[in-house]
Structures are given as structure tokens and as C-alpha cells.
Amino acid sequence: MSFETFNFTAAINKAITESGYKDPTEIQKKSIPEILLNKHILASAQTGTGKTAAFVLPILELLLQDKNKVRGPRVLIVSPTRELANQITDSVKKYARYTNINTATVVGGMSYKLQNKLLSKPLDILIATPGRLLDLFKQGKIKFKDTKIMVLDEADKMLDMGFVPDIRKIFNATTKQQQMLMFSATLDNSVSKIASEFLTNPLTISIKPDTKGHSNIQQSLYYVDNQLHKQNLLKHFLADTNLNQAIIFTATKRQADKLTDDLYHSDFKTAALHGDMSQGSRTKTINRFKRNEIKVLVATDLASRGIDVKDITHVFNYDMPRFAEDYIHRIGRTGRANKKGLALSFVSPTDREHLRKIERFTGMKIEAKVIPGMEPTKGASEHAEKKKRGGGRWPF
């Protein structure tokens, strides 16, 4: 199937060609025709599968076909995080480049003055985070009576972050006649429950977690004894001459700051990215990373979604994620646009349970490796054995 099958307007096709896309991805093949038919969609697709274009492209087409002059927003795209909202905005602008469709983005942390200005004009597409969107609605700055399509992106994350009550209020302020599109990394019971609340007879599209399909990402794990062992391994890998750019994921903001300091003193061009930073400095850091002025970004899971930098060669799980979904999101930061990438996980004794969950979720075992001279004190199997016997702290 090629993009021509969708019969997009020439302006959209031109942007697709310029983006360098040859064929639609799996999620695009399945979603685009259905969205063009105005169906409600519940889709499970990870970031990295081309899911943004899967909804943005048909939305643009539908907007171009609808000639009604209204104040808008005609399309509402709700994202759990500011980073993802900015990411979606970049995609919308890219694909709408040759159209006169206009877009605004409102997220927490942005000045209200600027947002009020953005909202004072007729608007086709509004991209927003839930809290700020609700605030602006309550202030009477936005109305949803013209909204014909509403997208809830990364619905699982919205649930995790406690945004459902806000979404419900926003949804109740719409005509409820709009086409609803919901995307989520997973389709578990809680996601299905909110889907049944907001969507009418949705078509369910499921794209398997693309882990084996992440064939361009080489995943491996290293058992570690302690923090010092992690640091030494990390420095070993950062010295790899094939490393172009890397993201290192830590469990906490403090850990991210601390590791950034350590690496800074080892002459790596490094910066931290986490939720304690102001929106301004977060955006600045991401932009510097995009321009390759920062080689190594040390981030919390906040950054695991919505960062689309093509040349990230290495992702490190310095601390293992607690949720299997986050593992997929994290490693999906590398191997973008069919490039090769490495995902390296440091597994300490307390991470064993997380590792098991990840392997169960992805249906694959991550290969355990060792660096000569940097082996863990005890092997993984011995550790597992010890654990079975009900004892053992690490190091043994």
C-alpha cells in the first residue's frame, strides 16, 4: 500500500514526500482510511510507529474538505505532556506546511498573555495539555461548539497522570457529536473503560508493541552490583566512538541532576531534563539536544515520550523503568527513522522484578552481556537462585 491509496489533497502529498516517507506504516495503513470515513478509533500503538502522522494526515484532509467558516477550534488534540504537545505541533506544522490550516498550542507553563493572543483568532487545530485547556475553557477563552474531531493521545499516560476528570469536563463541554480518536500504548481494562465513556462504537486497531519489530534497536542488559559499577559501565559506553547522541534515563530528578554533574566533570556535553525545571529551560534543553549541542541528555521518564531526535544512537536505562510501557517508550528514542540504535539496561538486584515485567510485556528476553573486566560480582542466575531461597542482598 502506498500513500497514493489515500487520495490525499496534493498539498498533503507534497508534505509527505518532503518528509521522506515512502510507504505508510502499519498504524497509518489501518487508521487513515477509517479516520477519513469519520469513524471513532481506539488504537494501541507505541510512539515510534508513526502514530502522529496516522491521525494528523487524515485530520488535515478532513479539514481541507470541510469548507465551513467557523471560529473553531475545529480539531482538538489533547496530550498528557507538554513535550508530546510540542512534538505533535511540530508534526502538524510539517504536514500542513502547504495548506492554510492554522494551529495553536496551549500548554501549562506558557504565558497566558501569549495563549490568549493565540486563541483570539479563528483556529483550525488546537493542541493542548488537559489542565491548561480546562483553565482556558473556564475563563471563557475557548469554546468547543465547532469541534468536529477530538484526539486523546497517549490515553494510558493521561490515566497514570490523573487527567481523566479534566478530560471528562472538557468532553462534557463539547457537543459530544465529534469524531473521537484515542491512542494509547496499551489497551488494558482501564483504558477500555475510558474509551467506552468517550467513544461511540469505536473501531479498535491494535499494533503489537514493536519490540521485535524494533529490529533496528539492539537491546542488551548488564547486571550491576552497585552505583559505582553502573557509573563505570556508563563511562565505558560513553567512550564508544560510534556514539552520536545518547539519552540516559534515571529514576529520579535528583539522580538525573547528580549524574549530569558527574558527567559534566568528565567532559561530556551533558544536560539534565526533568519535571522540576521550568518549561522554558526544558524547551531550551530539548532544542539544544536537537541541534546536537548536547551529546548526552540525562532524563527522567518525562522525556521518554515526545522526543524525536533522529540521531540518538544510545539509550541507557541507568535505572530500570518501573513500568514495562516506559521501557518501550524509552528505547524508542533511538533507532528513529530506521536508523540503528542501542538500548542498554543496567539491572541491579532490586530491578529483577521490573525486568521480568518488561520481558513478559514485550514477549522477549533481553540478552545479558558483560564487559570483560567489568563483570558483576555474581552472575544473574546465581542471583535468581539466591532470591528463590529467600535471601540475599546485593552484593552478596
Binding site for ligand AMP (CB under 6 A): 21, 24-25, 28, 47-53, 308, 336-337
Q: How far is the CB of 162 from ligand AMP (least distance, A)?
A: 24
Q: How far is the CB of 22 from ligand AMP (least distance, A)?
A: 6
Q: How far is the CB of 52 from ligand AMP (least distance, A)?
A: 3
Q: How far is the CB of 291 from ligand AMP (least distance, A)?
A: 17
Per-residue burial over 343-368, b if 16 or more Cβ lie within 10 Å, else e, is: bbbbbbbebbebbebbbebbeeebeb
For the record, the C-alpha cell of 111 comes out as 504565558
Q: How far is the CB of 185 from ligand AMP (least distance, A)?
A: 11
Nearer to ligand AMP, 119 or 187 (CB): 187
Could you tell me if 384 and 349 are in contact, meaning their C-beta atoms sit under 8 angstroms apart?
Answer: no
Nearer to ligand AMP, 25 or 115 (CB): 25
Nearer to ligand AMP, 43 or 238 (CB): 43
Nearer to ligand AMP, 59 or 119 (CB): 59
Please report how many Cα atoms fall inside a 13 Å half-sphere around the Cα of residue 28, on the Cβ side: 23
Q: Give the closest residue to 361 by CA, choosing from 340, 330, 386.
A: 330
Nearer to ligand AMP, 3 or 268 (CB): 3
Torsions phi, psi for 355 (to 5 deg): -60, -45
Task: For residue 122, count other CB atoms closer than 10 A to its CB.
Answer: 12
Give Cα separations from 261 to 226, 228, 272 (angstroms): 19, 15, 9
Nearer to ligand AMP, 164 or 328 (CB): 328
**What is d(CA 128, CA 302) in angstroms, rounded to the nearest whole number?**
16
Torsions phi, psi for 126 (to 5 deg): -115, 125
Could you tell me if 148 and 179 are in contact, meaning their C-beta atoms sit under 8 angstroms apart?
Answer: yes
**What is d(CA 37, CA 35) in angstroms, rounded to the nearest whole number?**
5
Start-to-end Cα distance in the chain? 56
Q: How far is the CB of 46 from ligand AMP (least distance, A)?
A: 7
Nearer to ligand AMP, 6 or 394 (CB): 6
Q: How far is CA 316 from the centre of its chain?
A: 16
Question: CB within 8 A of 215, min separation 6: which ones?
Answer: none
Q: How far is the CB of 138 from ligand AMP (least distance, A)?
A: 31
Q: How far is the CB of 45 from ligand AMP (least distance, A)?
A: 7
Nearer to ligand AMP, 13 or 227 (CB): 13
